[in-house]
Structure 1
Amino acid sequence: MFETTRYEMGRRVRGTAILTVAIGLYAAFIVWYFTVLEGVDYDQMLESMPPAMMDAFGIETLATIEGFLGSQIYSFVWLLGLGLYFAYAAGGLVANDAEHDRLDLLLSFPVSRSRLLLEKVASLFLPLIALNVGVGATVYVLAAVIGEPIDVANLALAHALSVPYLLVCAGIGLVLSVLVDRAAVAERAAIGVVFVLFLLESVVGGADELEWIQYLSPTYYYEPTPVLIDGSYEPIDAAILLTAFVGLVIVATVLFDRRDV
């Protein structure tokens, strides 16, 4: 059982390790940069920033390590960067096999299409868990080293709440992956959709007449900075994201079952 999941996870080990180390190094740079900016007038800096930019990158305060990390890492790398990464990774799950004529071989094995799809999706939990645990631990240790300890419960919660969000991004890529036969098309389309949804919430959703449109974006339901600062979050947001992910998987499963290979 789970042969497909193990195989797909094996293919992701190297990429996951490289990405985790890369983001960990970036986190180290951001923590160091926070010490360099000691004594800077953050209030004046924030006053000079456009409100749209502050909303887009989740900037609430830069005077604390939690607020600084929230704006420089979690509201940028986690929301946008990893959102695009998981959409891209899921976009190639099925389309890549279809493009290289491996899909018909996989479907000739005694396994249902729905199980094959679910096992491929399950392989994404390797980078999902590794990134959250690895980067989370790195951030916690580095903050403690510079004498700015972060509440471990808030940090763990910020990472845990990112899981439903990243799963939705992967779900978007999965739906596109079963719709097209070329991996590059599915991957780029998935990146485009997630990026547009990010803009809808951070830019377009700021207009009063278009406020309703922000509810269509998964980024609306995950705000890491308030979680890091004081542990504030809405449980219903995580539930909405998990429901959206399950819905996307169901849609992808139905489309895959009806697909002519």
Structure 2
Amino acid sequence: MTLDVLRYEGEHQLKSTLGISVAFALLALLFVASAPLITTDVTSSTQFQQVMTELPQPFIEAFGLQSMTSLEGLLAGEFYTLMWAVFFGLYLAYTAAGSIRGDIDANRMDVLLSNPISRWSVLVQTFLSLLVPILIASVVTPAVIYVGTLFIEPSIAVEELIMVHVLSIPYLLCCGAIGLVLSVLLDDRDTAQNAAIGVLFALYLFQSFIPVTDYGWLANIAPMSYFDANEIMLEGTYDFTSAGILLAATIVLIAVSQFRFTRMDIQ
């Protein structure tokens, strides 16, 4: 199997990858630079402690407010839970949702498939191109965070910083796979991309608020349930089982996409 599609799609994403990597790096650096002030204020503020006792627990957990008393907690609860997991996941789902359907709408897919290449190969290589933004951002961002922590106190544990990115890869791939399914199920690119944003954000809210109800077990359908940055950075616990579940879910979603794509009319 040639990798021309993967190479083309990967190169096509380089510009946006650079932009999102720089954005995440600068945002992370902002969190690092403001960490000494924020953590000190939170620790010593009786008003903040009072607010924490009054807010619903699901709200506190959804926005990572319970872990703002340390640099690791601030990064895990605010940056990695909200910015990295939610917004990067949304970006990848949005990108994947516009991939196959976008090529069909632009009449590029029929030209591509006129060459000796299978639909299965096109779909898999298109999906694997998501590794370009994932891997580049996962190298740039922790490197910038580490360098930033060299100028403040306290420093950060490098192993946990690396592992939070390593274990986020299965989660991010799963988000992209959700977008891929929508790309072959829905009738146009805009609809697929809007649906990807809606589905991912709804899953995030669902996973954040339903655990306190009698139907808390339903939160397990959300990929966010299997990636916990607080657990990694604050407790040093690495949940490889959850990572495996996310990879398995990604494979299933790719298989569903492949089943639909090989049987759909692209004219």
TM-score, structure 2 length as denominator? Answer: 0.93
Q: CA RMSD in A?
A: 1.4
Q: 1:41 to 1:77 in 2, by over 3 A?
A: closer
The within-5 A match list for 1:95-114 is 95-114=101-120
| Residue 258 (structure 2) aligns with | 253
Give yes or no for contact 2:40–2:69 (8 Å, CA) kept in 1.
Answer: no
The CA deviation at 1:138 is 0.9
- CA distance in 2: counterparts of 1:39 and 1:121, whole angstroms: 43
| Residue 34 (structure 2) aligns with | 33
Any stretches of 5+ residues in structure 1 without a counterpart? Answer: none
* Post-superposition CA distance 1:144-194 (Å, at most 9, x none): 221322111111111111001111100000001011241111111111111
The CA deviation at 1:8 is 0.7
- CA distance in 1: counterparts of 2:65 and 2:242, whole angstroms: 20
| Residue 204 (structure 1) aligns with | 210
- Aligned AA for 1:48? V
- Asked if 1:216 corresponds to 2:221, the answer is yes
The CA deviation at 1:41 is 4.0
The CA deviation at 1:11 is 1.0
Moved more, 56-65 or 192-201: 56-65
Give yes or no for contact 1:221–1:241 (8 Å, CA) kept in 2.
Answer: yes
Deviating above 6 A after TM superposition, structure 1's stretches of 4 or more consecutive aligned residues are none
| Residue 131 (structure 1) aligns with | 137
Q: 1:59 to 1:160 in 2, by over 3 A?
A: farther
Q: 1:135 to 1:41 in 2, by over 3 A?
A: closer
Is the partner of 1:130 in helix, strand or coil? helix
- Aligned AA for 1:197? L
Give yes or no for contact 1:58–1:223 (8 Å, CA) kept in 2.
Answer: no
Give yes or no for contact 2:17–2:136 (8 Å, CA) kept in 1.
Answer: yes
The CA deviation at 1:47 is 4.3
- Asked if 1:229 corresponds to 2:230, the answer is no
TM-score, structure 1 length as denominator? Answer: 0.95
- Asked if 1:62 corresponds to 2:72, the answer is no
The within-5 A match list for 1:150-169 is 150-169=156-175
Give yes or no for contact 1:60–1:225 (8 Å, CA) kept in 2.
Answer: no
The percentage of aligned residue pairs carrying the same residue is 34
The CA deviation at 1:59 is 3.8
- CA distance in 2: counterparts of 1:46 and 1:117, whole angstroms: 50
The CA deviation at 1:118 is 0.6
- CA distance in 1: counterparts of 2:212 and 2:201, whole angstroms: 16
Is the partner of 2:167 in helix, strand or coil? helix
Any stretches of 5+ residues in structure 2 without a counterpart? Answer: none
Give yes or no for contact 2:149–2:155 (8 Å, CA) kept in 1.
Answer: yes
Give yes or no for contact 2:102–2:189 (8 Å, CA) kept in 1.
Answer: yes
Give yes or no for contact 2:42–2:68 (8 Å, CA) kept in 1.
Answer: no
Moved more, 226-235 or 69-78: 226-235
The CA deviation at 1:46 is 4.5
* Candidates 219, 242, 245, aligned match of 1:240: 245
Is the partner of 1:63 in helix, strand or coil? coil
- CA distance in 2: counterparts of 1:46 and 1:85, whole angstroms: 34
